[in-house]
């Protein structure tokens, strides 16, 4: 059964087993709190709040109507959630905006979360951040406004990419922790007249391309990709400037910096790809093995995880 401190004002009957509600917390009658949660002193939880299992809410946090909190979430001290974009005194919304905090999220102390957003699973929000846009799964954000600065468990690829390829015809290939992903060092030929780098389809580039596209003029704060393909292979080359790519197979996650035109990254099907940290002059060239097909895209990370798990 739940443990409720005698100074707490807990009006809801929906408190899960082994949940602790500490000194002077206030939980209104409509709230639903899961099992094994820890609601610390001086926390306020309104009526239309749903909280999963094993959630920790530290002192001073305010959870207003419209908040949905998944399992295993950590909410730090004095975190403030909001549910009205244009609040006025004594003027009430018919329905508060829904804010969703997916499972495994951690939110640092004094962060402020604007209404109607989704914080994706396993994401981390830094202390004091002001979150004005939805946060993708596994992203690390901080600042005001909060910006993506990294991804959870995305280890940086360690390889000597400054060395040229040993072959003038093929490419040196470095396998990665992420299933099927390879970093390619293509030949670079330096000449007094200028330099060139070259790749051959179905040789150094491991498929025949049917389509290419280029991404450029991306504001540095923006994140692109955030999807996987069911059948399409992609080969990424940053022809100018630099861009950081995260590859994810549903279990392993790795980060690559493409900052020279002789570096290419092969993303096979069923690889979740993200591109961010674009330099102002970045031009990303992508070769694809298939023509564009909207049905080939997987844009929901939870669906991607389910599909990759089913394949194992």
As annotated, the active-site residues are 227
Cβ contact 82:114 at 8 Å: yes
CA dihedral (95, 99, 100, 106) in degrees, to 10, reads: -150
Strand partners, 156: 255
d(CA 28, CA 135): 28
For the chain, how many residues are written? 312
Dihedral sign for Cα atoms in the order 188, 191, 195, 200: negative
Task: HSE, CB side, 13 Å, CA atoms: give it for residue 75.
Answer: 35
Cβ contact 42:26 at 8 Å: no
Contact partners, residue 297, CB within 8 Å, separation at least 6: 227, 228, 229, 230
Cβ contact 290:269 at 8 Å: no
Cβ contact 116:101 at 8 Å: no
> What tokens were used for 295?
């049905």
d(CA 183, CA 190): 21
Rounded to 5 degrees, φ, ψ at 53 are: -90, 155
Provide the edge-to-edge strand list for the sheet that holds 234-240: 172-175, 182-185, 263-267, 234-240, 283-288, 211-216
Q: How many contiguous H segments (helices) and E segments (strands) does the chain have? A: 1, 34
């Amino acid at each position: 059964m739940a443990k409720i401190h005698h100074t707490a004002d807990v009006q809801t009957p929906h408190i899960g087993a082994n949940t602790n509600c500490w000194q002077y917390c206030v939980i209104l009658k409509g709230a639903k709190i899961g099992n094994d949660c820890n609601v610390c002193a001086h926390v306020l939880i309104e009526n239309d709040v749903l909280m999963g299992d094993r959630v920790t809410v530290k002192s001073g946090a305010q959870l207003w109507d419209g908040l949905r909190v998944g399992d295993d979430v950590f909410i730090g001290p004095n975190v403030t959630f909001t549910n009205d974009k244009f609040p006025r005194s004594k003027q009430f919304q018919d329905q508060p905006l829904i804010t969703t905090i997916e499972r495994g999220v951690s939110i640092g102390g004094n962060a402020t979360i604007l209404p109607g957003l989704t914080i994706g699973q396993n994401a981390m929000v830094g202390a004091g951040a002001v979150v004005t846009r939805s946060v993708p799964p596994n992203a690390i954000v901080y600042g005001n406004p909060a910006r993506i600065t990294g991804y959870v468990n995305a280890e940086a690829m360690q390889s000597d990419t400054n060395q040229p390829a040993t072959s003038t015809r093929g490419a040196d290939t470095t396998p990665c922790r992420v299933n099927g992903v390879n970093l390619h060092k293509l030949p670079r030929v330096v000449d007094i007249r200028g330099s060139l780098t070259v790749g051959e389809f179905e040789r150094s580039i491991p498929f025949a391309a049917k389509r290419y596209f280029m991404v450029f003029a991306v504001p540095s704060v923006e994140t692109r990709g955030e999807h996987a393909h069911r059948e399409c292979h992609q080969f990424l080359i940053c022809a100018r400037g630099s861009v950081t790519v995260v590859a994810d197979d549903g279990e392993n996650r790795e980060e690559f910096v493409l900052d020279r035109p002789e570096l290419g990254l092969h993303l096979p099907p069923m690889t979740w790809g993200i591109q961010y940290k674009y330099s102002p002059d970045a031009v990303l060239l992508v070769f694809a093995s298939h023509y564009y097909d909207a049905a080939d895209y997987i844009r929901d990370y939870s669906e991607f995880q389910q599909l990759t798990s089913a394949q194992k």
